[in-house]
Structure 1
Amino acid sequence: MGFSFVSFRTVFLLVCSVFNIDAAGYFENGTALERTAKQFFPFFPVGVVRFENGICTGSGSLDGTCYTRRQCADFDGIGSTSCANGIGVCCVIQRSCGESTQLNNTYFVSPGFPTGFAASSVCTYTIQKIDPSICQVRIDFLTLRLAQPNIMGVCNTDALIVTGGASNVPILCGENTGQHIYVDFNGNTSITISIRSSGLFASRAWNIKVSQIACNCPYRAPSGCLQFYNTTTGTVTSFNYGSVAPQNGTRQLVNMNYGICVATIRGFCGIQWAQTAGTMTFTVSDNTYTFIGDGTIGTAAAQQTGAACTADFVVIPGPILPDGTALTSDRFCGNAFVTLQTFSQPFVMTVVTNGDETGDMGNAGFSMTFTQLSCGMNIFVG
């Protein structure tokens, strides 16, 4: 069965991010709020002033949560702009190594962020459910700069590892700023993000936003979707994608097997996938570009499909060319990607890499765009 969603990010933030409620429900009965109640609501009895702990914009344009000033201080948050008609303060909550949270909308930052963190360490952050209505977290890598994998594509110097969840999350390293993942809770078990670093890497830094998602939220990612997009158009990239790959190694990470899902927007029945314009935007196996310095000249770029794609590839079910020609295989690899369409729902592209990237020297990974197609229409590319 397909799934259908509307595409309003604001609605997601307001409806699907569960509000944090203190032990007294929406009420804050301390003296600070009592004074506020008397000042702003003189005809209401003390204790009836209440407001939702919703999303707000705090310092540094980071998303915060609207709390009372006392709550923000108790949570060791950073209060800046006011909210709830001046009763509350927009509280940005940041945590670092060895800490945990049972609050929504928090940030896991490297020591001294944004300054690079060059030390060898194991830095962990534990995410606990706000309440039983939560089923999932979205983890946004606002900044994630770790050391590159070794020549085999293994994250042997730095590694980001997610444990405790019900989702299969691959080990990540390299440059993943702007990426995101969804992780399902496994019952009431906490989810832990661990970043293991060894050796000197002066640029190592991270700022990771964690948002908890309610079980009944329409923007909850479907099971099996590590990444999820709810727009009619967009760009997706492989983890650690870079426009220039290392000449003596690969950006491609080993042991990938995950789904990139696109929500079916009402009124759209198909989707078109295309290689992003530019050089080296699809090098998924056995790179054939010729290197000179940091640039490239000449190519033997060619798309491969089917039986030729056994180690590293992407899978797009039910593919057809824009002219309507059906393809005989749904696997694609090589150094080029021919624009194709599919009307197979739900819209999922599966990414697979094997356990050793030694033979794929110089791979950059992929950058691809998707465009949803109106029902009854194809997009023909000239």
Structure 2
Amino acid sequence: MVVLSLFTVVTFPNGGCAGASGDNGTCMTARECTARGGSANGYCANGFGLCCIFMTSCGSSTSENGTYFVNSGYPSVYDGTGSCELTVIKSHPDVCQIRLDFNRFSIAGPEQMHNVCNQDQFIVSGGNPVPAICGNNQGSHMYIDAGIGMTNPVKLTFVTSGPTFERLWKVKVTQIPCSTIYKADEGCLQYYTGVSGQLRSFNYDPVSGLQLSNQDYGICVRMERNFCGIQYTACPDTVNNRSRSFTLSGNSNTPVNAMIGSGAGPNNCANDWLLVPCGTNVGRIQPAQALCTDRICGGTFSAELSMQPSTVLSTVKPFRLWFHTDNVEAPVDVGNRGFCLNYVQQPCTNNLV
């Protein structure tokens, strides 16, 4: 006699899923989700699993990939002072990096004389050196070096102080294994992929943003297959009479020309600058013995001393920019917004090798 089982065991992998709220989570059983401290948010695996969302706030730790770090009382704003910290523990020894996506990020901006974050700050510790940031950074991201093994927790801290302010943050924390193709290159605080995209300095806004002081970090773009160069153009500014999408030094309340090079002269970039390796203006033929332009600053984006913005081409590989600001703005540097650049990778031709 054959006995037929009335039950069927269904198994499915703990893969990524999209919750009903739009947040990303991990597909698992209801029991597993509850045991690991998550919240069910819709179905996955053809209805056999639940999309488990991990969301946590101040004073906690997590080893769950895809955790959301939110302010106290989220989704309501937070108008308090203190320190809100999350400790990120690796889920596996093979994790090399932590990616932080700022889905929501609105805290008090810098003071307006030297643009220093002395009221609110977001601080990362335990990984590679990361500059403190503040202000509005929704849509930005960071890559943090997680070190080797399991003994290097990364701490994320929002410090809030000073006058009343409606703060709101939601930071997605993604753990990246060493062997993945989407791991950022070493030394890149920001890492972009795709043939085209947009790069912004932290707290950039053409109307009210202020370039942050004490910044020093690399911005990298993955070189896609069959592309050998990259062009950068200042983003269109549709809100100001005069474009402020690239204002790094000088008084941006008046027209400021592009400044280049690392010297100490009036048209050089000694304090605040964006390094574009061997950048040249598109359409200009450089002499065979011409020196590379590296640093660009001022209030106009161009690889030459000019009041006219230009598209700047670099063929140095890998594609990498470096952004640096000191801790002094006034009285020379006033109202600078930072930068917003659109990039487009250029296909390999006889002129781009």
Band the TM-score falls in, shorter-chain normalisation: 0.7 to 0.9
* Alpha-carbon contact 1:117-1:201 (below 8 Å) kept: no
Aligned-pair CA distance for 1:193:
0.2
What residue in structure 2 maps to residue 119 of structure 1?
80
What residue in structure 1 maps to residue 283 of structure 2?
323
Question: Are 1:343 and 2:303 counterparts?
Answer: no
Aligned-pair CA distance for 1:200:
3.3
Aligned-pair CA distance for 1:199:
2.4
Measured in 2, the distance between the counterparts of 1:168 and 1:357 equals 23
* Alpha-carbon contact 1:141-1:179 (below 8 Å) kept: yes
Measured in 2, the distance between the counterparts of 1:114 and 1:175 equals 17
Aligned-pair CA distance for 1:355:
1.9
**Aligned counterpart in structure 1 of residue 255 of structure 2, from 300, 319, 326:** 300
Superposed, which structure 2 residues align to 1:1-382 within 5 Å?
39=7, 41=8, 49-150=10-111, 151-165=113-127, 167-187=128-148, 188=150, 189-245=152-208, 251-278=210-237, 279-289=243-253, 299-306=254-261, 307=263, 308-326=268-286, 328=291, 329-338=293-302, 339-359=311-331, 360-376=333-349
Aligned length: 322
Name the aligned partner's letter for residue 178 of structure 2. C
String of CA shifts for 1:149-197, please: whole Å, max 9, x gaps.
11222111101000011x2210010111110000011233100001110
What residue in structure 2 maps to residue 5 of structure 1?
none
Measured in 1, the distance between the counterparts of 2:6 and 2:114 equals 66
Name the aligned partner's letter for residue 319 of structure 2. F
Percent of pairs identical after alignment? Answer: 39
Name the aligned partner's letter for residue 82 of structure 2. S
* Alpha-carbon contact 2:250-2:256 (below 8 Å) kept: no
Aligned-pair CA distance for 1:300:
1.6
Measured in 2, the distance between the counterparts of 1:287 and 1:332 equals 16
Change in 2 beyond 3 A, CA 1:185/1:319: same
Which is further off, 206-215 or 237-246?
A: 237-246
What residue in structure 1 maps to residue 308 of structure 2?
none
TM-score by length of 2: 0.87
Measured in 1, the distance between the counterparts of 2:142 and 2:350 equals 31
Measured in 2, the distance between the counterparts of 1:106 and 1:378 equals 46
Aligned-pair CA distance for 1:38:
6.1
Name the aligned partner's letter for residue 330 of structure 1. D
Which is further off, 209-218 or 82-91?
A: 82-91
Aligned-pair CA distance for 1:378:
6.9
Name the aligned partner's letter for residue 368 of structure 1. L
Measured in 2, the distance between the counterparts of 1:111 and 1:377 equals 56
String of CA shifts for 1:222-258, please: whole Å, max 9, x gaps.
1100000011101111100011147xxxx12121111
String of CA shifts for 1:74-96, please: whole Å, max 9, x gaps.
22322122112222100111000
Measured in 2, the distance between the counterparts of 1:324 and 1:129 equals 49
Structure 2 gaps, min length 5? 238-242, 303-310
SS at match of 1:85: helix
* Alpha-carbon contact 1:119-1:200 (below 8 Å) kept: no
Name the aligned partner's letter for residue 309 of structure 1. C
SS at match of 2:194: coil
SS at match of 2:296: strand
Name the aligned partner's letter for residue 121 of structure 2. A
SS at match of 1:266: coil
Q: CA RMSD in A?
A: 1.7
Structure 1 gaps, min length 5? 1-36, 290-298
Aligned-pair CA distance for 1:288:
3.1
Measured in 2, the distance between the counterparts of 1:357 and 1:79 equals 49
TM-score by length of 1: 0.81
String of CA shifts for 1:286-320, please: whole Å, max 9, x gaps.
1232xxxxxxxxx4231111121000000011212
SS at match of 1:206: strand
* Alpha-carbon contact 1:119-1:199 (below 8 Å) kept: no
Aligned-pair CA distance for 1:324:
4.3
Name the aligned partner's letter for residue 259 of structure 1. G
Measured in 2, the distance between the counterparts of 1:180 and 1:213 equals 14
Measured in 2, the distance between the counterparts of 1:69 and 1:310 equals 58
* Alpha-carbon contact 1:322-1:378 (below 8 Å) kept: no
Measured in 2, the distance between the counterparts of 1:93 and 1:196 equals 22
Q: Which of the two has greater helix per residue?
A: 1
SS at match of 1:217: coil
